[in-house]
Amino acid sequence: MLDIDRIVKDYGTYIYNFALKLSGNTKDAEDLAQETFIKAWKNIETLKNPKSIKKWLRTICLNEFRMKINKDNRMKIDYTENIDDLIEDGKHLMDVSPTLIDETFVNEEVSKIRDGCFLAMVRKLSINQRIAFSLVYMFGLPISEVAKLLQVTPKAVKGLLYRARMNLDSFFQGHCSILEADNPCKCSAWVNFVNQRADLQNKLKKTLDILDYRYKDYSFDEATSAKVLYYYQNMPEYEPSDEWFESIIVSIRDLYKISN
């Protein structure tokens, strides 16, 4: 018999990181993961095969994320895109091998700033671009599975990936000093600012509404794309606190009157 304590402890970190890559924000990820487990326990009897629980939880999390986006009037992001255009864009998706980058001299504070920046920029993609990019490149799901989740063709998913990569590449190529030393934005310069005044992600929210590489007439650059993919594909897994795990278990036990 499935037990809520065991489910949360076994899959809490996995679902939290899944939520973090979708939302790009630690607080949103905590809330999204908690709602996922609450919804999962409410519908636990519909789980036909306990061995598929990870995929089941993942689907619930994605659906909760999409519902939140639809309900949140503060997020002015257009997530509708022409399917025919996406299929055409999918023909241009390039397979590149991520470039190995020497991180020997990158301290922990700078790494956190960089990861926060990269997550924040994913939030600037259209919603379906964000979902496709996060699930394929950051979470490693196959294109075919993402196509089923989004209810589009694999070619349309490739189009979303193409647009997402072009958008991210075009932004970072002209800003990030990690990719090019002469670029103006340097992680180390953000450390004091973040520690003393505000969170980097909140700052980045104000820099632009949404990424669209077409406004810059950007063309594909394999070197840039390889470096950007490296960072997204090697983003570390984050471990939620013990208190977070316990709070979810307590909340579900109280909500559904579960005895110890």
User: Following DSSP, what letter does each residue of 104-165 receive, concatenated?
Assistant: TT--HHHHHHHHHHHHHHHTTS-HHHHHHHIIIIIT---HHHHHHHHTS-HHHHHHHHHHHH
Of 236, 101, 235, 228, the C-alpha closest to 175 is: 228
Q: What's the predicted TM-score (pTM) here?
A: 0.84
Give the pLDDT mean for 26-54: 93
The CA distances from residue 245 to 42, 81, 260, in Å, are: 18, 37, 16
Domains and CATH numbers, the chain: 4-74+239-255 (1.10.1740), 83-233 (no CATH)
- pLDDT for 105 beyond 90: no
pLDDT the model gives residue 168: 95
Whether residue 78 contacts residue 148, with contact meaning beta carbons closer than 8 Å, is answered with no
Q: Poorest-confidence range of 31-40, 120-129, 206-215, 249-258?
A: 206-215
Cα separation, 230 vs 146, in Å, equals 21
Judge whether residue 77 has pLDDT over 50.
no
Mean predicted lDDT score pLDDT of the chain = 85
Two tokens, residue 125: 């993609």
pLDDT digits (tens, 9 = 90+) for 154-191: 999 999 999 999 999 999 998 888 888 888 887 776 65
79 pLDDT tier (thresholds 50, 70, 90): very low
The two structure tokens encoding residue 222? 């394999």
**pLDDT (mean) for 38-57:** 93
User: What DSSP assignment string belongs to 7-30?
Assistant: HHHHHHHHHHHHHHHHH--HHHHH
CB–CB of 113/190 below 8 Å?
yes
Q: Phi and psi of 176, rounded to 5°?
A: -85, 125
The helix (run of H) or strand (run of E) holding residue 196 is: helix 187-196
- Could you count the other beta carbons within 10 Å of the beta carbon of residue 134? 25
- Which amino acid belongs to residue 207? T
Query: Higher pLDDT residue, 16 or 1?
Result: 16
Most confident of 2-11, 192-201, 206-215: 2-11
Q: What percent of the chain has pLDDT over 90?
A: 50
> Residue 44: CB partners within 8 Å, gap ≥ 6?
2
Query: Rounded to an integer, what distance in angstroms lies between the CA atom of residue 191 and that of residue 6?
Result: 38
Enter the tokens of residue 64: 């909760």
